[in-house]
A and B are shown apart, each in its own frame.
Chain A
């Protein structure tokens, strides 16, 4: 780190850029190159067929995929962000019975992969599902398996992204701004609308963007519901192009291209919304947010919260739970059994190994991702690095690109014969999963940390620099304490998401090095719902337990709220 080729402030910038290019852009470029020059990585040099780009609007399947993706993405972004932001605001302002449940549920939803949630909904709402057989609700099937129903299902599983972004931004607040508004006769609503909400715009935006990107890139939901309802989306069609023979890298590339365009559009909307504004409103009088008892309506809050959680978490996970402990008998009856759980551990430790693999990869990815993500956020927020915008775009792109595509890119890059000579042929080795995990962790972490960092004024750091504090000391003594919660949330979110990353691991898992999501998904494919549900719950429980332990260890004592 001690070379002087680059301007002083740009060193970190170049380091970050190099890391991001290696982990994200290079594999992605490989996929694009494959569209332009099919066979480039296999030693042939021929120009590809670019007319495919126009096929998007001619081929019924593609056009429908694009339309579905847009409808689902926009709908979920609107509903999910409103839901997440409202919950985060209520949670940080008021204490009410059951608030702790919301914290747990948010994590649970984050670590639960969409394909598991979607499968839970399928088990609940399909024509011979639990809603039908236990409650006799015939309407559920027709309500859920429509675009609007899927938007609702998706919002209920993606709102935690918006929740976390907003909640961590509410950690420190300037009460005086709001108090000034109230003194001048504004109602609480007016104050929120005209003072608090505009100041939190970056957090809302990064929350909305996270929800949008996670939704349009989501592969789990369309894949799971495909069994009962045809709803092709871009990621699903990309997967279909890769998982068919002859494999169509060119088509996957074209569809990925459109997906990336969608994300780029969403990002420009965000840039436009935040243009020329400053949001570094924290000052010396900032106080840590403390939830207080509302004067009235605590009961309403509590019951609303419970109802929401019952639907968002109760239905999909409850369906999994029921499926994992019942054995469908003849004639629609079911018997209680623990046999699915027994199966998990009798067969030579298949699940134990897979779980250990996934946990260790995710832990490593979260730690390395935290380091890189913090640097990325720092460069984005404070540095004058001239390629700042590129860094932002890259960190977002990796969220935008479905793991399936990035996974294929990783194969192109890391499976070239010449790497064997220098010992870097990582394809087919566990190391590639670690790399992919880090790539997947960076964007999540960057988004959450950037949202929180936006509130720390440059002045604080400049002042320290004037006193002669080194870069590492400035980060250590100013940024880390102020961002501690956000960093913890970010690392744990990345960890949880990484454990269950199905798309990447199913493409990249080395022979006989199974990961948890692969084991679960294979069981689903074989329609062995009981085994899959039992494996899901076992794995999920392990992850949640780890996260709670980490929160316990690293949460600053004054931030721990009295549990209710």
Chain B
């Protein structure tokens, strides 16, 4: 009896341990074939090099392609929140460096970066969260003063976003919010045309928007009103919108779902979400307000103490390259945006009169905590 129990326990332990070994072993030496991944998964096929100090030798890497003298097969770790599937093969083929991509939503990535403050594991961060990355620069985490060769080819609109200390470079901008309305509920004449209309009694209880505390693009959206109208004006504006029965959803996809589900009829919606709905044949129309749509700017920055500076610089150059941006627009998942490089064609169905406006990054970064807190407290009342 006792012996039996022992055997069973031992068997259980062995099963558990071998499972564990299998799991961990998998992390260290599987190369699950670079398969195409969908938007819902974010991990690229594994190479276990988790920290920059580990070299690519941690995983059996194929030799760098011979046609590219620049890269030496070293691994660059990039934190990003979109385009993970498309940039990896392109960059690796062009430069011969290896990319280790860590993707997540904006808040996740910022949490990781914050948590790693004492010992960063990333070399480059590339996200549509300019105020937050500006904040990283203020905290002394970013490499400053380096100018990519490709920066000369930036559009005038994009040049305005390059900070004086050159800590980060814009790779594109998209509307954090455009007005979207249900065409079955409102005719074009009755539809909201300007941001002020969101507080109009005509749309009482039918408006939806994303929560700036959760959704990455929602803060750039909200902060523009606060800078444009002044702190009190911004509060009054959103007070009126919320009093008008506006629904606040955690993220833009939730807003889109509420719109198709009929919970709301009008929304301030991030533009890729809006165009996706329209292309799916949903009964909606997109309005670009004349005063402009608040922009969310996607920027790339290099960690100050990165051990892979050459590879990091090569990656930023690659992102500013018109060819890359064209590929993102043609094949990417967040393809509705205004490119930062000259000579890139936008999506054909993107409004030609799309006017983007943006809050000053330094101002937005400074007031980020208080505006988000005010909004969170105000929206539960």
Contact call B111/A507, Cβ cutoff below 8 A? yes
Contact call B51/A348, Cβ cutoff below 8 A? no
Judge whether B174 is part of the interface by a CB distance below 8 angstroms.
Answer: no
Interface string of B247-267 (1 = CB under 8 A from A): 011110110110001110000
Interface string of B22-51 (1 = CB under 8 A from A): 111011001011111111111111111011
Q: Known contacts A60-B377, A367-B12, A367-B13: does B45 contact A348 (CB below 8 Å)?
A: yes
Judge whether B213 is part of the interface by a CB distance below 8 angstroms.
Answer: yes
Contact call A127/B115, Cβ cutoff below 8 A? no
Size class of the B contact interface (CB-based, 8 Å): 35 or more
Q: Known contacts A242-B111, A415-B118, A514-B41: does B380 contact A232 (CB below 8 Å)?
A: yes
Residue of B nearest to A68 (CB): B380
Q: Chain A nearest CB: distance from B99 CB in Å?
A: 11
Partner of B53, one of A353, A361, A420: A420
Residues of A within 8 A of B213 (CB): 240, 244
Contact call B377/A128, Cβ cutoff below 8 A? no
Interface string of B354-378 (1 = CB under 8 A from A): 0000000000000011001100111
Residue of A nearest to B368 (CB): A246
Contact call B33/A527, Cβ cutoff below 8 A? no
Q: Known contacts A42-B117, A246-B369, A522-B40: does B100 contact A512 (CB below 8 Å)?
A: yes
Residues of A within 8 A of B107 (CB): 243-245
Contact call A128/B262, Cβ cutoff below 8 A? yes
Partner of B23, one of A60, A356, A525: A356
Q: Known contacts A416-B118, A523-B40, A526-B40: does B33 contact A348 (CB below 8 Å)?
A: yes
Contact call A245/B44, Cβ cutoff below 8 A? no
Contact call B135/A430, Cβ cutoff below 8 A? no
Residue of B nearest to A524 (CB): B40
Judge whether A48 is part of the interface by a CB distance below 8 angstroms.
Answer: no
Q: Known contacts A243-B108, A245-B110: does B380 contact A64 (CB below 8 Å)?
A: yes
Contact call A248/B12, Cβ cutoff below 8 A? no
Count of A-B contacts judged by CB separation below 8 Å = 201
Residues of A within 8 A of B114 (CB): 246-247, 249
Residues of B within 8 A of A248 (CB): 369
Q: Chain B nearest CB: distance from A557 CB in Å?
A: 11
Partner of B119, one of A230, A416, A430, A531: A416
Contact call B102/A511, Cβ cutoff below 8 A? yes
Number of interface residues of A (CB under 8 A): 76
Q: Chain A nearest CB: distance from B334 CB in Å?
A: 12
Q: Known contacts A127-B261, A511-B50: does B118 contact A526 (CB below 8 Å)?
A: no
Interface string of B229-263 (1 = CB under 8 A from A): 00000000000000000001111011011000111
Partner of A408, one of B26, B30, B115: B115
Judge whether B352 is part of the interface by a CB distance below 8 angstroms.
Answer: no
| A434 vs B20: C-alpha distance when bound (angstroms) | 9
Judge whether A384 is part of the interface by a CB distance below 8 angstroms.
Answer: no
Residue of A nearest to B257 (CB): A527
Contact call A511/B20, Cβ cutoff below 8 A? no
Contact call A415/B116, Cβ cutoff below 8 A? yes
Judge whether B132 is part of the interface by a CB distance below 8 angstroms.
Answer: yes
Judge whether A61 is part of the interface by a CB distance below 8 angstroms.
Answer: yes
Residues of A within 8 A of B23 (CB): 356-357, 359-361, 430
Residues of B within 8 A of A244 (CB): 107, 110, 213-214, 372
Q: Known contacts A366-B16, A411-B115: does B26 contact A247 (CB below 8 Å)?
A: no
| A226 vs B380: C-alpha distance when bound (angstroms) | 12
7 contacts between A and B (CB under 8 A): A43-B118, A60-B378, A240-B213, A244-B107, A477-B2, A531-B40, A550-B12
